Amino acid sequence: MTSNRLAHLSQRMAAVTLLLIVVMLALNAALWVFPIIASKNGWGLGFALSERQLSDIADRAALFPWWQTLGAIALSSVPLLALALGLGHLRQLFQSYARGEYFSSEAARHFGKVGRAVAIWVLLDFLCEPLLSVWVTMLEPVGQRMMSLSITAPSFVALFLAACISIIARILLQASEVDSENRTFV
């Protein structure tokens, strides 16, 4: 692949990444405002924390007061904001590649921040789930309130990928330092 094609591909990926951030956050809010989107009888759309919470209560979630819906949006968005921050660094990484900065220390740092953000996303998803489950069931009668906590296989995969990304980012940072030293000798 020529460097010109690679630059154009990197620019497109930066735009797609920005679109992904916006769609992810907007869809999460839409799931709580219009829970039929997430219901098994509806479209079945959803992801992560919102999907796990709404899968069983979509019909009741449509009856939430506005403040409870707003709180659910906020609590379920906390992990997604960490992921959005990581995707923002991924976007900056693609922008660096579009400028031809393949071995820059800045690119390596952005890549490392993607790995950290993915790990933080998994941790926040784990921590926010019990809070969100209590929040969405707090108006239920005693005995029907719930606190849930789940550890899923995708969480372990995401943590493994986050560790791999962080290690590769350190290798790339080391490579950028070696590249910089080699350029000063030539």
Q: How high is the pLDDT of residue 1? A: 61
Q: How high is the pLDDT of residue 141? A: 85
Q: How high is the pLDDT of residue 186? A: 54
The tens digit of pLDDT for each residue in 30-57 reads: 999 988 877 666 666 677 778 878 877 7
Q: How high is the pLDDT of residue 2? A: 67
Q: How high is the pLDDT of residue 160? A: 97
Q: Are 35 and 62 in contact (CB under 8 A)?
A: yes
* pTM of the entire predicted model: 0.87
Report CA dihedral (72, 78, 81, 83) to the nearest 10 degrees: -110
C-alpha to C-alpha distances, 51 to 35, 166, 171, nearest whole angstrom: 10, 28, 36
Q: How high is the pLDDT of residue 41? A: 62
Helices then strands, counting H and E runs in the chain, come out as: 5, 0
Sites in the chain below the pLDDT cut of 50: none
Conformational region of residue 44, where left means phi above 0, alpha means psi within -120 to 50, and beta covers everything else? left
How many structural domains are present in the chain? 1
Question: Which structural domain range is residue 20 located in?
Answer: 3-185
